[in-house]
Amino acid sequence: MDIGKEKKPILICGLPGIGNIGRLAVDYIIDKFEMKKVCDIYSTHLPAQVFVSPESIVSLPKNTLYFKELSKTKSILIFTGDFQGTTIEGQYELSETILNLASEMGVTEVYTLGGYGIGKIVENPRIIGAVTDAKMKKKLSSKGVIFSENEPGGGIIGSAGIILGMAGEFYHMDAACLMGETPGFFTDPKGSIELIKALSKIVKFNIKLEDLEERAKSIEQITEKMHGEAQGKEQKEDLGYFV
């Protein structure tokens, strides 16, 4: 696929992780924008297995790069996939592979997406940011991204952090990681919605979120039901103790 360097596409990376919100966010964007596949990336650092379809057809795990021209002057690349690298070497190798490709395509701006696990459900998830320089911090702060001292504590683990670090240190790209608050123990559309909203302000694109919002409502109803059932069970057990 011919991707003109002069358009300097913006790279957005979302792989499976905490709450799966980065992966869910980019999958939604890929689907709604009907993005075109640029290439698949296979690696010995992905799990040693194959997927089996309902028709019993197998496929290897892979990462994939997609492209979409948003206007005559703006385009995006999205990097996603089935898994992150399973080893430290794999994390660095896959990050280097995608950044080499991005550099060849003229990318100068990178956003990695991830979840910020807080262990509880929040009504309005915040988007926490980490950047490669003060210029990016100023730009993202004006779009509602929060920069809070000691958040995230312990740094950013996995591809979201490694791609961010390598993009700034070795490729001299403007880069940021956007982390959505999430309980962290289930796939969280609510966190993904907030990530997409933040991205749409930063990259400046329009996307309808109704389908993802419906999914978020369904999961919220399920969690509320489970919470109610658990409380009912506890009350019944307490009553049983006094009978």
Cα gap 14→107, rounded to integer Å:
16
Backbone angles phi, psi at 150, to 5 degrees: 70, 15
**Tokens coding 59:** 């496929």
48 CB neighbour count, 10 Å cutoff: 8
Q: Residue 242: what pLDDT?
A: 42
**40 backbone dihedrals φ, ψ, rounded to 5°:** -105, 145
CA distance 50 to 153: 35
Backbone angles phi, psi at 99, to 5 degrees: -70, -30
Coil, strand, or helix at residue 143? coil
Looking at residue 130, its pLDDT comes to: 97
Report the pLDDT averaged over residues 87-100.
97
Give Rg (Cα) of the chain: 20
pLDDT at 78: 98
The model's confidence at residue 122, banded by pLDDT at 50, 70 and 90, is confident
Task: Give 150's pLDDT tier (boundaries 50, 70, 90).
Answer: confident
Share of the chain above pLDDT 70, in %: 89
Question: Which pLDDT does position 75 carry in this prediction?
Answer: 96
Matching residue, tokens 């998830």: 125
Residue 133, pLDDT above cutoff 60? yes
Question: Per-residue pLDDT averaged across 1-29, rounded?
Answer: 89
Give the side-chain half-sphere CA count within 13 A for 38. 22
pLDDT tens-digit readout, 49-89: 999 999 999 999 999 999 999 998 899 999 999 999 999 99
